[in-house]
Amino acid sequence: METSELQLIAAQPLRDLLGGVSDMTLFRWMETRQFPQPVVAGVKGRRFWRLKDVAIWQEQNLRKTEVA
């Protein structure tokens, strides 16, 4: 497994990366836009996303907006 596949990002930095979206927006995207599901880690259940999965999602959605 490559190191890049193991890079994770927490919810707050992810929301910032995606333009300052809210937690609710992330939840809706996971429900309706096939946004990657988080990996839940630790006793407190912190959510982390694989950066590689987020990058793939961004690329797919960028192409959709360019076509539309």
H-type alpha helices, the chain:
3-6, 11-17, 23-32, 51-67
| Cβ atoms within 10 Å, residue 7 | 14
CA distance 16 to 6: 20
Given pLDDT bands bounded at 50, 70 and 90, which one contains residue 66?
Answer: low
pLDDT given for residue 53 in this prediction: 96
Q: What's domain 7-67's architecture?
A: Orthogonal Bundle (1.10)
CA distance 62 to 64: 5
Q: Indicate yes or no: pTM above 0.95.
A: no
Tens digit of each residue's pLDDT (9 = 90 or more) over 4-51: 668 999 999 999 999 999 999 999 999 987 899 999 988 888 999 999
pLDDT given for residue 61 in this prediction: 85
Q: Domain locations in the chain?
A: 7-67
3-state secondary structure of 41: strand
